[in-house]
Amino acid sequence: MGTGAITQYVDVAQIVLYMFWFFFAGLIYYLIREGHREGYPMETEDGRGHITGWPQPQPKTYKLANGAEVSFPNDIVSPQTLQAEPTHNWSGAPLQPTGANPLLDGVGPGAWADRADVPDTMAHGQVKIVPLRVATDYGVSSKDTDPRGLPVIGADDEQAGTVTDLWIDKCEHMFRYLEVQLTGQARTVLLPMTCSRIKRDGVKVHSILAAQFAQVPGTRSAEQITFLEEEKIMAYYGAGTLYATCPRHKELRMKAVHRHSLGHEHEFEPQYGLPELLPATEKLLWQGSPDGRAMAIEVFHARKLALYFVVLLLARATFVLADGGGLMAVLASWAWLAPMAAVAVGIMVALARLAARTAVYTITDQRVIMRIGIVLTVTFNLPFKRIEGAGLLLRGDDGHGDIPITLARGEQIAILQLWPHARPWHVARPQPTLRCVRGAAQVGQLLAQAWGEATASGKSLGQARPAPMDPVSAGSPVAQGSRRPGGSALAGGQAA
């Protein structure tokens, strides 16, 4: 027997390997068991049964700082009554509130946890969060606006009440809540600092309406707040961000529903293709998206890729026939290449369709906005004062084409962020491009006119010119390209 051998069939290395396997299996068992300590037994989604999980650990008792004890796992049932129902008849469907006030139903952003109904305390047992009338050693900095006495304005621009006091976290030395005396009522409620915007003339709240302050969950004590009360108060204001019925919120939700009905996946856009609503002083002139078929052919070169694979298949067939093979031999030689070719071309076409579907180009009387990105959506805002020139490249006889935009010196966007919505082969100074736009000549003319009016230069960014390849000086018209593929000209002293 060799060195380390114990018997003819067992040696030290083998025993060490087996010991490692046993240790690793035990470690996995221990981690799974401890992972089941809190939150088990779980309740099924419909509330009809319990999921105990395996392995179920023995209860362990923990001693808390305040002298109390708690054991996990336990059979304590949550006292919450969830007033909600699934939006669809399938497992995992999102819930929608069903109660009279959705802000109190504990659903979505209004969900809250069953925390202890006791106040938070500091190391020596003093209550941590108290109003300034109790914590007399604290106050508002003279450099900051003291909100006491200021009106509280809801999301509907109506006054809900007046700030009477501030609640401070004595441990963290920061204000946590504003105490609000409701207008026309003897009741006071707490407003989280994180849900308010304090200005010199008042406190603005965007999450709930003025009338909804009346149902903000209260506290048992006027001088302290418990963990559970904090949960419910924060949940109420959080639910307002989704369920408040401010007319502006209704308008945004109706637009989102309308976009969803059209198959648009960006349902959280306040305005289609834009990250925010346009100002009242700005006018929307045009919106559009690339043509998916044109993107596949001209940007992703799906037709050239298909032709490449056709040449490969024909070449393979020629070699097989030259070696004396027949039709079946040719088909057999294509057995793996043809499906791979189809998949490759299909991927290119799918990417082109997705790139076209997820892109929205917007032209207003002040700027060009590009919302692009298949997975990670990004919006580029290009004000006219940052645009030096533009161009027009018509492709084919159907009127679609590209409109590349030349940014002013010092303004640059990385080509990897823009692609495929960038002018090809312009890497050192990338040009954002409206790719494969239908009616590109009309869109270019609209952009030219808007640019000229916005810059008040008396010149036009783009007009039709007979010579498609002639360079054009900066600030002069953009030459319209001929309708043959490749014809274009660019403003700003550059020929395409």
**Are residues 324 and 393 located together in one domain of the fold?**
no
pLDDT tens per residue across span 133-185: 999 999 999 999 999 999 999 988 899 999 999 999 999 999 999 999 999 99
Residues 335, 304 share a domain: yes
Tens digits of residue pLDDT in 342-376: 999 999 999 999 999 999 999 999 999 999 998 88
Comparing C-alpha atoms, which of 329, 445, 461 is closest to residue 384? Answer: 461
Answer yes or no: is 211 within a domain: yes
> For 400-428, what is each residue's pLDDT tens digit?
899 999 998 888 888 888 999 999 989 88
Residue 434 pairs in a beta bridge with 403
For the ranges 63-72, 124-133, 352-361, 397-406, the lowest mean pLDDT is seen at 63-72
pLDDT of 488 higher than 50: no
Q: How many domains does the chain have?
A: 5
Q: Is residue 116 part of a domain?
A: no
- What are the counts of helices (DSSP H) followed by strands (DSSP E) for the chain? 9, 21
Residue 230 sits in the same domain as residue 150: yes
Predicted structure pTM score: 0.49
Give the mean pLDDT of 221-247.
Answer: 90
Q: Are residues 169 and 254 in the same domain?
A: no
Q: What is the predicted pLDDT for the residue at 146? A: 94
- Higher per-residue confidence, 421 vs 55: 421
For residue 8, pLDDT beyond 80: no
Q: Does residue 72 have a pLDDT over 70?
A: yes
CA distance 425 to 433: 12
Structure tokens at 186: 């003897």
Identify whether residues 269 and 195 lie together within a single domain.
Answer: no
**Tokens representing residue 355 in the block:** 């790139």
Give the β-pairing of 84-86 and 151-153. unpaired
Are 145 and 234 in the same domain? yes
pLDDT beyond 50 at 468:
no
Q: Alpha-carbon torsion 258, 260, 265, 270, what sign?
A: positive
Region label for 419, one of left (φ > 0), alpha (ψ between -120 and 50) or beta (otherwise): beta
The answer on pLDDT for 291 being more than 60 is yes
Name residue, tokens 């190391």: 123
Q: What is the pLDDT of residue 75?
A: 73
Domain assignment of residue 111, yes or no: no
Band of pLDDT at residue 482, cut at 50, 70 and 90: very low
Is the model more confident about 470 or about 193? 193
Residue 155 lies in a domain: yes
Tell me what pLDDT residue 49 has: 58
Q: Are residues 316 and 368 in the same domain?
A: no
pLDDT at res. 4: 66
- Closest CA relative to residue 428, chosen from 443, 447, 406: 406
C-alpha 231/C-alpha 114 separation (Å) is 8
For residue range 326-345, list pLDDT tens digits in order.
899 999 989 989 999 999 99
pLDDT at 376: 85
Query: Which range (252-261, 264-273, 298-307) has the least confidence?
Result: 252-261
Claim to verify: residue 327 and residue 379 sit in the same structural domain: no
Domain co-membership, 393 together with 307: no
Name the band, by pLDDT with cuts 50, 70 and 90, for residue 93. confident
pLDDT band at 474 (very low <50, low <70, confident <90, very high): very low
Structural domain containing residue 265: 249-277
CATH number of the domain where residue 397 is located: 2.30.29
Between strands 401-407 and 387-394, the pairing is: antiparallel
Q: Is residue 112 part of a domain?
A: no
| Predicted local confidence at residue 54, as pLDDT | 72
Contact predicate 405/388, CB 8 Å: no
Domain final residue pick, 244, 266, 300: 244
424 with 304, same domain: the answer is no
Residue 271 pLDDT level (bands cut at 50, 70, 90): confident
In a domain, 160, yes or no: yes
Do 383 and 297 belong together in one domain? no
Please give the pLDDT value at position 344: 94
For position 325, what pLDDT does the model report?
A: 87
Q: How confident is the model at residue 52 (pLDDT cuts 50, 70, 90)?
A: low
pLDDT: which is higher, 463 or 47: 47
Give residue 487's pLDDT: 37
Amino acid 14: pLDDT: 87
* Domain shared by 365 and 447, yes or no: yes
Quick one: which of 444, 282, 478 has its CA closest to 364?
282
* Rg, the chain, Cα only: 34
Predicted local distance difference test score (pLDDT) of residue 70: 84
Residue 123: what pLDDT?
83
pLDDT at 68: 81
Residue 117 lies in a domain: no
Closest CA to 435 of 263, 230, 288: 288
Sign of torsion over alpha carbons 435, 438, 444, 450: negative
Q: For residue 8, what are the CA distances in angstroms to 4, 5, 19?
A: 11, 7, 19
Tell me what pLDDT residue 368 has: 95
Domain with residue 134: its CATH number is 3.90.50.10
4 within a domain of the structure (yes/no): no
